[in-house]
Amino acid sequence: MHRITHALSALPDNPALSARIAINGVAAICDPLGGLYLPDLDILVVSDLHLEKGSAFARRGMMLPPYDTLATLRILEAVIARHDPKTVISLGDNFHDPVGSALMPEQFRGMIETMARGREWIWINGNHDPDGTIGLPGTSANELHYAGLIFRHEPEMNGAAGEIAGHLHPAATVTRREKRVRRACFATDNRRLIMPAFGVTTGGLDLRHKAMHGLFDRTNLVAHMLGRDRIYSVRFSNLLG
């Protein structure tokens, strides 16, 4: 709920402290709104939007607050306005189920069409939406290899250098002012990166979870944690278990 309220306040003009990193030698900026901007390539990467999650649950008789798609798209508008990328890559689980894009209300479809105008838009297929999108601008692909980087939804255990993936919704916990603080994060050892989930009703998986084992060189692993208006970069060794 905290992130939904934060999103609906719309933050495109607020100053933000981002983290400047490199992935397999390619410059990147971790934006506190949850997008990864690659300035030399003019690409914005987001992951795990899980659009229409509330509607997907409603079709199964389970009620969630119906504001998730609007809130997520408003954050996406803000991060696109901040970086004005030539290309947007969305790394899978773009919709919460395979029919989400087909059933999405016209209001939200129009928001995506406006954001995509004049840009290349690539939808990477995820496990929730393996067949791509319906009736939306852009192209769908299972993965994309470009400029020494590999864009895919699920990270591979022995993935090549330059892999940028989603799926696992990484999160990390630290102590701040004697309180435990848990936040979604960009997780990277400079060789590869796993994106935070962008959708406002998505959960997170701790970097110490067994699903993360073997994905990173932990001596170089840093969690770039999403704060309200800045990124907090914390080495893995300093995270709470």
User: Tens digits of per-residue pLDDT, 67-108?
Assistant: 889 999 999 999 999 999 999 999 998 986 767 677 888 999
% pLDDT > 70, the chain: 87
pLDDT band of residue 5 (cuts 50, 70, 90) is very low
Q: Is the pLDDT of residue 229 over 70?
A: yes
Q: Could you tell me where the beta strands, DSSP code E, fall in 110-160?
A: 120-124, 139-141, 143-146, 149-152
Q: Is 107 left (phi over 0), alpha (psi -120 to 50) or beta?
A: alpha
- H/E stretch holding 108 reads helix 106-116
pLDDT band of residue 174 (cuts 50, 70, 90) is very high
pLDDT digits (tens, 9 = 90+) for 30-61: 999 999 999 999 999 999 998 987 665 556 66
Least confidently predicted of 8-17, 33-42, 121-130: 8-17
Q: Is 139 left (phi over 0), alpha (psi -120 to 50) or beta?
A: beta
- In this predicted structure, what is the pLDDT of residue 9? 45
Tell me which residue of 1, 23, 21, 3 sits closest to 11, measured CA to CA.
3
Q: Which two tokens stand for residue 232?
A: 């907090």
pLDDT band of residue 179 (cuts 50, 70, 90) is confident
% pLDDT > 90, the chain: 68
- In this predicted structure, what is the pLDDT of residue 203? 87
- In this predicted structure, what is the pLDDT of residue 103? 81
Q: Is the pLDDT of residue 12 over 70?
A: no
C-alpha count within 13 angstroms, C-beta hemisphere, residue 80: 23
Collapsed DSSP state (helix, strand, coil) of residue 69: helix
Does residue 69 or residue 1 have the better pLDDT?
A: 69
Angle separating helix axes 106-116 and 68-83, nearest 10 degrees: 10
Direct distance between the N- and C-terminal alpha carbons of the chain, in angstroms, rounded to an integer? 24
Q: Is the pLDDT of residue 29 over 90?
A: yes
Question: For tokens 């649950």, what's the residue?
Answer: 57
- In this predicted structure, what is the pLDDT of residue 37? 98
- Whole-angstrom Cα distance, residue 124 to residue 18? 25
Does residue 185 or residue 62 have the better pLDDT?
A: 185
- Whole-angstrom Cα distance, residue 173 to residue 189? 18
- In this predicted structure, what is the pLDDT of residue 39? 98
Collapsed DSSP state (helix, strand, coil) of residue 182: strand
pLDDT digits (tens, 9 = 90+) for 131-151: 888 889 999 999 999 999 999
Strands of the 36-38 sheet, one edge to the other: 19-23, 26-30, 36-38, 43-46, 87-90, 120-124, 139-141
**Domain boundaries defined on the chain:** 2-238
- In this predicted structure, what is the pLDDT of residue 57? 52
Q: How much is the pTM?
A: 0.90
